């Protein structure tokens, strides 16, 4: 019972990192959207850094005997997120039916961008929760260290996610609420890991990790980088490259802690 309470307390604490967007609540909407555009560059670095520095190396470590299978699953993640976005944007799809050009205040500016970001983040949070739960099954010390690593890892991720949601057209309150809901999926991951045990958790993350990695690569390369190409000034190039490098660098630094 003590291990269960520690694991659930840890994942709940980590989930509240998602409300970092509340730091901008005192700013007016126009300024928040300006900040969100800047955060898009940081999000690109954080997503690509997470995929190539954390997730993909861990995938190949877990599946060292099946490098081809691991590669195919990462590519399957990219294709899956491509298909999801296509379906969302299809003229018979959910987003099209709820998009009202005559009433722009009723629709998101980039609803498909928000949708695939929420999907990818929810899967990622589910895995983080499962990792926390499995770590506590091994030992309380490992559980605490894993929680600390996930906590630090989530800070840049959540700032980037908040920027993406606001950039897609959500208000600050909507973005914070959606981020919190997505982060709460980690609690389900922890509960499942505690109930099913470490063996089931290993099998689950062996499949979900590459799908998530592929989704992050797709989101950064196919959606966010094209957004940054709209501003072709040299100053934008400098700022965007610096922030992308900062996102990648921070993800790299976190490997020293993990």
Q: Does 108 have pLDDT greater than 80? A: no
Please give the residue that has the higher pLDDT: either 235 or 22: 235
- What predicted TM-score, i.e. pTM, was given to this entire model? 0.72
Q: Do 59 and 213 touch, CB atoms closer than 8 A?
A: yes
Secondary structure of residue 7 in the 3-state scheme: helix
Residue 25: pLDDT band (50, 70, 90) is low
Residue 92: pLDDT band (50, 70, 90) is very low
Domain count, the chain: 1
Query: In terms of residue numbers, what domain contains 202?
Result: 2-18+32-257
- Does residue 132 lie in a domain region? yes
Chain segment 33-84, per-residue pLDDT in tens: 777 777 788 889 988 988 899 889 988 988 888 999 999 999 999 999 898 8
- Does residue 43 lie in a domain region? yes
Q: Does 171 have pLDDT greater than 60? A: yes
Q: In the 8-state DSSP scheme, what is residue 220?
A: I
Q: Does 88 have pLDDT greater than 80? A: no
Burial 117-132 (b: 16+ CB within 10 A, else e): bbbbbbbbbbbbbbbb
- Does residue 26 lie in a domain region? no
Average pLDDT taken over every residue of the chain: 81
Residue 27: pLDDT band (50, 70, 90) is low
The region that residue 108 occupies, defined by phi over 0 for left and psi between -120 and 50 for alpha, beta otherwise, is beta
- Does residue 252 lie in a domain region? yes
- Does residue 50 lie in a domain region? yes
**Tokens 């005559």 belong to residue:** 102
Q: How far is CA 123 from the centre of its chain?
A: 8
Residue 105: pLDDT band (50, 70, 90) is very low
Q: Does 7 have pLDDT greater than 80? A: yes
Give the pair of three-digit tokens for residue 164: 């993406």
Give the pair of three-digit tokens for residue 90: 């299809």
pLDDT score for 138:
67
Chain segment 175-204, per-residue pLDDT in tens: 889 988 998 999 998 998 888 876 666 766
Q: Does 104 have pLDDT greater than 60? A: no
- Does residue 23 lie in a domain region? no
Q: Do 208 and 148 touch, CB atoms closer than 8 A?
A: no
Give CA–CA dist 188/123, Å, rounded: 11
Give CA–CA dist 156/199, Å, rounded: 30
Q: What are the C-alpha distances in Å from 232 to residues 40, 115, 238, 241?
A: 15, 27, 11, 12
pLDDT score for 32:
72
Chain segment 156-168, per-residue pLDDT in tens: 677 788 888 888 8
- Does residue 24 lie in a domain region? no
Q: At what angle do helices 2-15 and 172-196 cross, to 10 degrees?
A: 160
pLDDT score for 152:
66
- Does residue 27 lie in a domain region? no
pLDDT score for 150:
80
């Amino acid at each position: 019972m003590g291990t269960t309470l520690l694991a659930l307390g840890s994942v709940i604490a980590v989930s509240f990192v998602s409300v970092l967007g509340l730091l901008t609540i005192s700013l007016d909407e126009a300024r928040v959207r300006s900040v969100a555009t800047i955060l898009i560059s940081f999000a690109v670095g954080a997503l690509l850094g997470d995929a190539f520095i954390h997730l993909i190396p861990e995938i190949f470590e877990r599946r060292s005997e099946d490098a081809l299978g691991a590669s195919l699953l990462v590519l399957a993640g990219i294709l899956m997120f491509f298909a999801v976005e296509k379906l969302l944007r299809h003229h018979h799809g959910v987003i099209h039916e709820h998009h009202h050009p005559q009433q722009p205040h009723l629709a998101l500016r980039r609803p498909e961008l928000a949708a695939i970001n929420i999907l990818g983040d929810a899967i990622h949070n589910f895995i983080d929760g499962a990792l926390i739960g499995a770590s506590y099954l091994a030992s309380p010390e490992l559980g605490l260290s894993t929680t600390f690593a996930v906590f630090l890892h989530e800070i840049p991720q959540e700032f980037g996610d908040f920027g993406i949601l606001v950039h897609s057209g959500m208000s600050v309150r909507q973005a914070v609420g959606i981020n919190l809901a997505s982060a709460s999926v980690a609690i389900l991951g922890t509960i499942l890991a505690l109930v099913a045990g470490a063996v089931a958790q290993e099998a689950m993350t062996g499949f979900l990790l590459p799908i998530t990695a592929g989704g992050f690569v797709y989101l950064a390369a196919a959606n966010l980088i094209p957004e940054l190409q709209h501003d072709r000034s040299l100053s934008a190039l400098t700022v965007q490259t610096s922030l992308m490098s900062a996102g990648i660098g921070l993800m790299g630094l976190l490997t020293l802690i993990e």
